[in-house]
Amino acid sequence: MKNQMKNFFTLLLVSTLLISGIALYQPHASHAEENDEEILVKHDDETIEIELVDPELTSEGQADRPADTLTLFTRNFGESTKTNEWGVEVAVSDGIVKKVSDPHSGNTGIPSDGYVISVIDSDGQEYRDQLRSQFSEGDEVRLEGIDLPELDDDEESEEEPEEVSEIGSVSNQDGDRLTVNQMNVDRTEDTEVVLYTAQFGSMTGTNEWGREMIVDLNDDDELEVKSFRDIGEGDQSGSEIPRWGFVLSALDPYRDYLEEDEIFSVGDIITLEDINLIELDNEESFEYVTINPTPETNPDGVEDEEAGEYFPGLRGGEQLLIYTSDWDSETTGTNAYGYEIVVEGDLSNGTIVATGGNDSHIPEDGYVLSGHGDAASFLIGNGSVGSQVIVDEDTSTVTLKTTPESLISNVSSTLASAQERYDLASDQLLDVDFTSIKEALEKAEDQFDKANALAEMLSEGEGAHDDQIEFLTLLDDIEENANTAFYRTFESHRVEGRSIWHRPTEENLEEVKANLDELAKSHFNLVFIETWNDGYSITNSSNDLIGMQPRIEGNTYGEYDDLLEAYVEEGKKRGIEVHAWVQNYRVGHKGNDPSSPIIDQKPEWVLEHYDESIYTPHENDYVFMDPAIPDVQEFLMDYYKELVEDYDIQGLQLDYIRYPVGHYRSDSGYGDYSANAFKEEYDLDKDEDLRDLLDRDEDPELVETWEDWKTGHITDFVEYTFDELKAIDDALILSTAIFEDIQDSIGTKNQDWPTWVQEGWVDLTTPMAYYRDADTVADSVHSMVDLVDGKALNYAGIAPTYMGLQDRENAKQTYAARLGEAQGSAIFASQNVLGLDNVQDVLKESTYRESAVLPHADLDEVIHVGLDELFDRIERIYYENEKITSDHVSYIENYFAELKEKPTDTASDLDVIESQLNELKAEADQLFESPADQRFEESLSYLQHIIGVRTLRMDLISDEDVEDEKAEKQIEENTVTVNDHYIEESISANQFEVLLDASSGVNQLELSEDQIEKLKEHQLDIVIEYEGVNLSVPSKNLEGLSVMTIESDAESSQSLVDHAMSEVYTLHVMTNDQTLSTFDPPVQLSLQVNNSFEEADDLSIYYYNDEISEWEDVGGIYEEGYVSTTLDHFSTFAVFSDDVFASDDSSESDDDDATESVDSDEEDEGDEEKSDPSDSYNDEETSDEDTEDEETLPDTATFTYNYLLIAGILIILGAFILFYQRYKKES
């Protein structure tokens, strides 16, 4: 017994400790800083509890902030919260709320004397809204339960103060002065007061926890204080730096000097002491890898050493290389993914003579600097024609130096290129404004002479600050006028695609209108709006798996239901088409918090990679859905149908319509479904891991089959998308972005786009020509246009601003798209155009100068606009320059007038137009003198190409229709449907007949609304043949979708059926989901009679009247084994002899009793199926309670665990007492 007592007390102790541990456990406690008391933030009557303090960082360097958790960030965490844009954050400085962020903000700067409260929702934005509603800027708050990190001021005060650096000072008209400690450096707590000039960049890049003063030139060319940036204002980008002024910036404690009216005020006139705002002599350096690379000196330039494969030019990623005339080729041999500058002179002292491009020619007396990644950015940002280049071989550095002379050389180069373009336009009789071009060039030339004189003076160390400003102002004016002339030398065509990809962030309808207005003014005519991205939509979808895009969640858009509808409808008002841009299989990213509903609710849909991870190994940790899963295909198709049916979108662009980039043993598709489906299809061992079976050394054919299998699923889905969406809207434009390298596209992405195009499933391609050099763009686009082979239109994808190139590259690259024989361009992306006046001005002055009609628009409009534009040039340019006679002008005018009258409905119609354009083009050299004949031929060829593509697409789609014609009837379960060609053939034959195969259980015919309307238009009856039944229904009786059913009631319970002379049949017609009860005109019904009768004269068709439970005669005529009659309604029918109803009343009475019994059973069943009304009430009550819960912030200050602890102890105590009493009794 003593042992029993000992064991009991041991059990008691362990149980108590266990329950105590469970009760005291709190979620997220392992992340938070340990505190003896709760961490509370209080203000007014509000109190919120902090659950997590200073979280850890993820592998990507972001804060590991859990959803639905109030998180506190202090300066122990760092200078900013490092959070993504999906939450709300409240910044508090010195006990005052300084900033309450927007609902989709992150990475807030953390005040040195405060903290940031942050929250993100797992679903919806309830917590974010609550946090925003509880705090306002200026609120006084207090933090309890935690000590903020102390500043180091007290510790430093005991030491000897460090000597403060000083570069000069600024003062105002009253003599108030402030010392400046640093210039154009990143601001920290140690930099004290920093001065930023435009040489640093366009923005200061400072967070919101300092203060800044912005100074700029006024109308009298004086430096004047324009504004102040106070604590908490703005974001991490800082303040904009004026071109000729500066920004003063400081953190605590020096920021107090920059408080408005503390030392300086708006309107103060500022004087600089010992500070030169303008540094005409500037230099930047970058480390290079090697000169004339080899596999030994540059191993990173080797792609696969065993295979002997090298990167082009042996240039690896992020490298800066130098190629001299000793290189083993006349050119660098590099690919299009870098940037190069050509230098003449020695390594120790050279001068840049050309910039841009790749695979550059190497000069005999110079060299080429070639960069990729950051090295390319270094060359782009610092290398201009005329700049000095110094190569230090001891330190392996390249230095680019800017001087007044190099600045003059650079604008001289810009002026020369504009003059060269002007001469070319003049020689070729291009359609440009020569007068305005000449005026701009003359202005630039006059300004150049003045600037050149100033440069000589400044180079000798002479000249004041005003001279420097005048010099730089002249350079800006020269650039502006020379570029204006340059831009205007490009033709602007009236039939052309001007498209742009747009990732929407608009918060309201006004922002939508403003963005569309900007695009319309720049003559864009097509927007690819990102509708489906990372598993979220910008639409209010009815599918629970499709969440609203978090960055726009909660926004409203005036009279429109959602953002997509707003864009579509407002786009129409401005002549801009809107196509839904969908990132097909891509549904997430590792850094997304919260993850998309698909990832959370359908983990079995997520694509698994070779390493068993769900994150793409070669593409930024994206998450894809598995393209091979049928449910995934159906999910996407339902969503796309919803877009096409519910929105008046003019097109759908498929992006990420592929597998992630993959290579052998780092590819994708190893989830349960795909692995099992592939093994089953190819009869592989089901128990083996697919990864082990796919061994390139053991079975290379199986590895190839695996890749083909995956490629096939992508191709099948493109075809499926084309078929399904075109069936809804045959005018819908289906497009996709494509890559030039077919081998790479198919081999690493399983994207066989050439098949899509050749089969006619894609109307429009946007070949991605994302290169830095315009010539490379033209060559690449031309190559991809050739591959498309006239089966689709091409709007070339370009990204000059996105790639950090000069604004003028937008003109050069949109023109390069035309040179590459594309029918337009697509700019990536809207953030590189919207709000950027310089970029918009380039487009409006050059290739987008005139408005344009889309090449895929109405064909009559395309032909009319194209011919009108060409004839305008003939009259205005070629005739005025005496390149054509008036008689020939009249001849062409009449020719064009006849062409515009031609029909364009069929491919044959278009063949006629194209043939006549060919005939006219053949006469060009007889109608025009050079070079007008060449321009005329080019214009006709461009229009012909568009017509040719449209003709081929009509032929391709017609071929698809021919294939459909072979399958005139489709059977699904018990229902027959017919295609439109079946209807057309019936109309041609003047009869519509369908056979329902009773032996296969087929007893139903379904016709669409359009098919019914066509039959009614031609007054055709619907004739249905069924085993023993012929039915003819006049189509006039039907409206909308109609379903006709014939049921054979072989075991019918109606009376007298044993005496029927035919089978018993029940007929139904549903039209627009309503039962059709009467027919006018009447229906013709024929029922086959059994052979067991002697006389036919007394046979009639009877119908069963349910109201009186009797058979009633509807007449009939016997002929060749059938009795036929006309009907005005449907019911249950059979053939009887009239004698039956004259002799068998007693059997009817018996049958009536049976009928009553059946009816009673049915009523009982109905009672069983009735639901309890309280069920609905309870559901509503629960829903309301859930809603209330969701509207409050998480409350962890509860007594739940305390109650649990007490209950556990009481249970153990009770057990102890019971045991003790039993023990005493036994003793």
CA distance 768 to 784: 9
Q: Which residue(s) pair with 853 in the sheet?
A: 495
What end-to-end distance do the CA atoms of the chain give, in Å?
9
Backbone phi, psi, residue 855, to 5°: -60, -20
Q: Which residue(s) pair with 439 in the sheet?
A: none
Backbone phi, psi, residue 796, to 5°: -65, 125
pLDDT, one tens digit per residue, over 570-582 is 999 999 999 999 9
Plot region of 291 (φ>0 → left; ψ -120 to 50 → alpha; else → beta): beta
CA distance 565 to 583: 19
- Say which residue the tokens 């992405």 belong to: 749
Q: 148 with 74: CB under 8 angstroms?
A: yes
pLDDT at position 96? 85
User: Given the DSSP bridges, would you call strands 397-402 and 282-287 parallel, antiparallel or unpaired?
Assistant: antiparallel
The Cα-based distances of 1105 to 1082, 1100, 1133 in angstroms read 18, 15, 10
pLDDT, one tens digit per residue, over 1157-1191 is 334 343 444 343 333 333 333 333 333 434 344 44
pLDDT at position 1216? 66
Burial string for 111-123 (b: 16+ CB within 10 Å, else e) reads: bbbbbbbbbbbee
Please provide the size of the chain in residues: 1227
pLDDT at position 163? 47
pLDDT at position 1098? 82
Looking at this protein, which amino acid is placed at residue 873?
R
The Cα-based distances of 246 to 10, 170, 266, 275, 717 in angstroms read 76, 11, 14, 11, 57
List the structure tokens of 828.
């990536």
Q: State if pTM tops 0.85.
A: no
* Domains of the chain by residue range: 1-26+1196-1227, 40-153, 163-277, 283-402, 407-488, 497-587+628-662+714-845, 859-960, 969-1158
pLDDT at position 1152? 45
Consecutive H or E run containing 1063: none
Q: Look up the CATH number of domain 163-277.
A: 2.60.120
CATH architecture group of domain 497-587+628-662+714-845: Alpha-Beta Barrel (3.20)
Mark the ranges of the chain whose per-residue pLDDT is less than 70.
1-37, 59-60, 103-105, 122-125, 151-165, 463, 593-594, 957-967, 988, 1050-1053, 1092-1095, 1143-1208, 1214-1227
List the structure tokens of 727.
């069936």
Which of 276, 274, 265, 260 is closest to 173 using CA atoms?
265
CATH of 969-1158 among 1.10.3470, 2.60.40, 3.40.30, 2.60.220: 2.60.220
- Say which residue the tokens 């075809």 belong to: 719
